[in-house]
Amino acid sequence: MSLYQHARDGNVERLRDALGSDSAAVRKRAVEFLGELGDVDEQATIDGLLRAATTDDDPEVRGAAVDALDEIGEAALEQLLAELTGTSGSEAEWVTARKFARALQADRPELRMAAARALGRLDDASGLQHLVKALSDEDPRVRLRACEACGTFADPRAVPGLTERLDDEPRVKRAAANALGSIGTDGALAPLLDLLGDSDESIRRIAAGALGKANNPEPVEPLARALGDESAVVRNAAVYSIIELLSNVPTQHSHAVRDRVVSELKAADDDTVVEPLVEILTEGQQSRQRRNAAWILGRIAEPQSALAVEALADALADDDPQTAQFAATSLKSLGGPVVEDRLLDRVGTEHPEDARAKAVFVLGQIGGQESLNRLESFTDDDSTAVRKRVFSAVSKLRAGGP
């Protein structure tokens, strides 16, 4: 039976047996599964991982065992550190942090890896300076864990050291890029601009996803260029970041950024931009991002884009009044028969009153004879808001337009 099957069945005993395999690949996979399935109260599993972390002949297995102990929980990882450093686990955090910092100087790279992991978990800022030094460790596995730990601190003091790691091997480079994105200051994000052209898709995605945190308009054009990336995940991340930029940039830059965003997005492939914008509008959790998505769709989508029009029409009933208003304004900007058809479907009494009133308003601006005929049937509507909009819309349509 395969290791995967044992893992799916939750058979940790068989997985522990595999730690004695002659194959390093099997031992490494068993270690990874034990990290996913192990429990902090399952001492037999922890003991097996402790042996793998300290005595296995293969460095990849030892490194995976350190990560597995960390995945099981802080208490499991601390057993490894306690065994190798003499830490009791009952001291104040600053005392523990000092011992872990000393462990970063240990001869065994696995101990240095574990110390970096543990320092990242501790809520003690004194550990950061030691982690920054560990970014230059001779072992790439230690550098990798140090990058990850610096990301948990999200402290700008780590930026110079992390930036140097952007020339490291791929795994370390990815971890450094992620950490810089977690720090999120303009100084931390600036080095990521060049990574949008990296040959590694995952690096480009990390950079594109992080640059939306910037508080200046500099990333707009590089992100717009990323809309032409061969990778769909990179393109999607770029659109999300562009929307986030609109939410984050200071007021004094907002108008210029909006103009640049619209210009760049219009030049991009329509499907590349519209689909993620619709996803943000329909599934986003932040009102500011949904508002921006609604606003942009009205300026870059094609009037015949059923996907965009449907999402905007649905947004007329959004719980956020400003998102609903931006959706109405965008539908008015788009106009055309597709918009008219979708809005006529939303004027019935089965829809919320505010959404119906907005639909009627837009129809008064862009509708034709069909809209006029339909709206005339609502002149006696029970809703005062809808009746008011109907009278105004019918008057405009009878007069031949707004």
Question: Taking residues 133-149, what's their average pLDDT?
Answer: 94
User: Do both 321 and 233 map to the same domain?
Assistant: no
Q: How much is the pLDDT for 333?
A: 94
Which of 265, 281, 297 is the endpoint of a domain?
281
Question: Taking residues 103-123, what's their average pLDDT?
Answer: 82
Distance CA(308)–CA(328), nearest Å, equals 12
Residue 339 counted as domain residue: yes
User: Do both 313 and 224 map to the same domain?
Assistant: no
pLDDT in tens, 143-198: 999 999 999 999 999 999 999 999 999 999 999 999 999 999 999 999 999 999 99
User: Do both 193 and 236 map to the same domain?
Assistant: yes
Question: Taking residues 368-383, what's their average pLDDT?
Answer: 91
Which of 261, 281, 301 is the endpoint of a domain?
281
Angle at which helices 140-153 and 127-134 cross, to 10°: 140
Per-residue pLDDT band for 53 (boundaries 50, 70, 90) equals: confident
Residue 318 counted as domain residue: yes
User: Do both 244 and 313 map to the same domain?
Assistant: no
Total domains in the chain come to 2
Residue 99 counted as domain residue: no
Residue 225 counted as domain residue: yes
Q: How much is the pLDDT for 284?
A: 86
User: Do both 218 and 257 map to the same domain?
Assistant: yes
Dihedral sign computed on CA atoms, order 104, 107, 109, 111: negative
User: Do both 326 and 270 map to the same domain?
Assistant: no
Distance CA(227)–CA(221), nearest Å, equals 10
User: Do both 275 and 357 map to the same domain?
Assistant: no
Residue 177 counted as domain residue: no
| Mean pLDDT lowest among 73-77, 126-130, 250-254, 351-355 | 250-254
Per-residue pLDDT band for 91 (boundaries 50, 70, 90) equals: low
Backbone dihedral region for residue 184 (phi beyond 0: left; psi -120 to 50: alpha; all else: beta): left
Q: How much is the pLDDT for 32?
A: 93
Distance CA(400)–CA(402), nearest Å, equals 7
Q: How much is the pLDDT for 83?
A: 67
Identify the residue with better confidence: 359 or 119.
359
Helix locations, 40-139, DSSP H = 43-55, 59-72, 74-85, 93-103, 109-121, 127-134
Tell me how crowded residue 217 is: count the other CB atoms within 10 A of its CB: 19
User: Do both 189 and 261 map to the same domain?
Assistant: yes
pLDDT in tens, 55-65: 888 989 988 98
Mean pLDDT of the chain: 88
Q: What is the domain-level CATH number for residue 334?
A: 1.25.10.10
Burial of 89 (0-12, 13-18, 19+ CB in 10 A): exposed
Q: How much is the pLDDT for 163?
A: 97
Residue 402 counted as domain residue: yes
Which of 233, 262, 281 is the endpoint of a domain?
281
Q: How much is the pLDDT for 201?
A: 96
Residue 294 counted as domain residue: no
Distance CA(340)–CA(109), nearest Å, equals 66
Per-residue pLDDT band for 95 (boundaries 50, 70, 90) equals: low
String of b and e for 50-85 (b: at least 16 CB within 10 Å)? bebbbebeeeebbbbbbbbbbbbeeebbbbbbeebb
pLDDT in tens, 225-274: 888 888 989 988 998 898 888 877 776 667 777 787 888 788 776 677 88
pLDDT in tens, 257-316: 778 788 878 877 667 788 889 999 999 888 888 998 999 999 989 999 999 999 999 999
Helix locations, 251-320, DSSP H = 251-267, 270-283, 287-300, 306-315
* Residue 27 · residue 15 · CB < 8 Å: no
| Overall size of the chain counted in residues | 402
User: Do both 258 and 343 map to the same domain?
Assistant: no
pTM score: 0.72
Q: How much is the pLDDT for 253?
A: 67
Give the domain range for residue 249. Answer: 184-281
Q: How much is the pLDDT for 132?
A: 94
Residue 340 counted as domain residue: yes
